[in-house]
């Protein structure tokens, strides 16, 4: 995986999917374990504004912290994915790559585009016909913004400010 080439204060849509579009999450425990790793490895460098874990891919909307150690951030993303891969390989007797080789980080260069990305991330389970309402998918930050859960992975205050989101949960849902 190449360096992400992130810049402080900027917003990015970071995503990757399973190699050959195969599943990367097989059980609720897998989703939870990935979120634990995400918190450990990426939150020191990035403010997570939105996230969604799908059966065969993931999406993150992030803002790079002012004093982020950017070379270390790329290393930590590799560690996140490789340690998660090793756990899945061990648990399910798999071999080979779990994720596609290159994780993408697309810069969101204006607030309108960033807000569209925020909505896109939360609508992913609906588009994939996994649920009828975004609130039904527990593996995204949608429930946190809709006031249905009090998750702490997202920096909701930063998202509200940066994306100009409504402060009332009912207006987001």
Topology classification of domain 11-172: Alpha-Beta Plaits (3.30.70)
Residue 159 to residue 133: CA distance in whole angstroms? 22
Angle at which helices 111-127 and 156-163 cross, to 10°: 120
Summarised one tens digit per residue, pLDDT across range 3-62 is 688 999 999 999 999 999 999 999 999 999 999 999 999 999 999 999 999 999 999 999
For residue 152, the SS3 value is coil
Find the mean pLDDT for residues 133-147.
95
Find the mean pLDDT for residues 56-80.
96
Q: Is residue 144 classed exposed, middle or buried when 0-12, 13-18 and 19+ CB atoms within 10 A define those classes? A: buried
pLDDT at 43: 97
Find the mean pLDDT for residues 87-112.
94
Summarised one tens digit per residue, pLDDT across range 111-139 is 889 999 999 999 999 999 999 999 999 99
Ordered by start, the domain boundaries in the chain are: 11-172
Find the mean pLDDT for residues 148-155.
95
Confidence of residue 88 (pLDDT cuts 50, 70, 90): very high
pLDDT at 165 over 60: yes
Find the mean pLDDT for residues 93-102.
93
pLDDT at 111: 86
């Amino acid at each position: 995986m190449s360096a992400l080439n992130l810049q402080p204060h900027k917003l990015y849509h970071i995503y990757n999917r399973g190699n050959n579009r195969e599943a990367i999450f097989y059980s609720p425990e897998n989703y939870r374990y990935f979120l634990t790793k995400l918190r450990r490895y990426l939150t020191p460098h990035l403010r997570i504004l939105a996230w969604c874990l799908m059966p065969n891919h993931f999406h993150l909307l992030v803002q790079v912290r002012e004093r982020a150690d950017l070379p270390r951030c790329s290393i930590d993303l590799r560690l996140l994915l490789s340690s998660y891969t090793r756990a899945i390989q061990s648990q399910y007797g798999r071999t080979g790559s779990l994720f596609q080789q290159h994780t993408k980080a697309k810069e969101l260069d204006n607030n309108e585009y960033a807000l569209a990305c925020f909505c896109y991330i939360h609508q992913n389970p609906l588009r994939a016909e996994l649920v009828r309402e975004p609130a039904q998918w527990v593996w995204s930050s949608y429930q946190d913004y809709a006031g249905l859960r009090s998750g702490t992975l997202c920096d909701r205050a930063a998202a509200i400010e940066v994306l100009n989101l409504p402060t009332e949960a009912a207006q987001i849902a």
